[in-house]
Amino acid sequence: MSYLISLGAGLVVGLLYYFSRVQSPAPPLVALIGLLGMVIGEHAVPFVQAQWQTAQTSQSSAASANTAAVKADSASGTQP
Q: Please give the full DSSP string across 17-55, using - where no structure is assigned.
A: HHHTT---SS-HHHHHHHHHHHHHHHHHHHHHHHHHHHH
Tell me what pLDDT residue 69 has: 60
Tell me what pLDDT residue 21 has: 82
| pLDDT at residue 80 greater than cutoff 70 | no
Mean pLDDT of all residues belonging to the chain = 77
Cα 22 from chain centroid (whole Å): 35
Q: What is the pTM of this model?
A: 0.41
Mean pLDDT along residues 18-37 = 79
| pLDDT at residue 78 greater than cutoff 60 | no
Tell me what pLDDT residue 74 has: 62
Q: How is the chain split into domains, by residue range?
A: 1-25
